[in-house]
Amino acid sequence: MIRPLEERDWPAVRAIIDEVAAEGETYAMPVPADDAEARAFWMHHGDTGAVAVAEVDGVVVGAANMGPNRPAQGSHIGTASFLVAAAARGHGVGRSLGQHVVTWHRDRGFRGIQFNAVVETNEPAVRLWRSLGFEVVGTVPGAFRAQVSR
């Protein structure tokens, strides 16, 4: 089930943020130092956007934030970010969140959606976005420094 984030969901979302950040494979970010830093990273759209969670059997297993990509003259193009807990990957959670985000933007009159950075080695994400009608318009070699060792 995809639904709006409720405050009671935050501990689960925070745990997924920490997990994904620690993996160092999809977001250029350190593991958040504290709750305020995690909230600033994930809730950055404020009143102009929304945050949704993916829930399976009552457990939050993913989240997406969405809203305008830029203010003012860029506000007609949306953007979004996604997190899926490692244990839930490969089971359609990302696809459900992606479809939700596309519908959310379409229903609000956005003219397109732009993802500013999808790490090209994140092949499941690249395949997902292509299957949902997105196209890669460019790559920046070396822009993401993947972790060398764990």
For the segment 14-41, what is each residue's pLDDT rounded down to a tens digit? 999 999 999 888 888 888 889 999 998 8
Question: What is the residue-averaged pLDDT of the chain?
Answer: 90
Compute the average pLDDT of residues 72-85: 93
pTM above 0.85, yes or no: yes
Single-letter amino acid, residue 51: V
Q: Is residue 7 part of a domain?
A: yes
Residue 147 forms part of a structural domain: no
Note the Cα 7 to chain centre separation in Å. 18
Three-state secondary structure call for residue 16: helix
Q: By the 8 A CB rule, do 5 and 13 touch?
A: yes
Query: Residue 123 has which token pair?
Result: 């092949």
Supply the CATH number for residue 79's domain.
Answer: 3.40.630.30
Q: How many CB atoms sit inside 10 A of residue 143's CB? A: 10
Non-local (6+) Cβ contacts of 54 within 8 A are: 1, 2, 60, 61, 62, 63, 64, 84, 88, 93, 96, 97
Domain count, the chain: 1
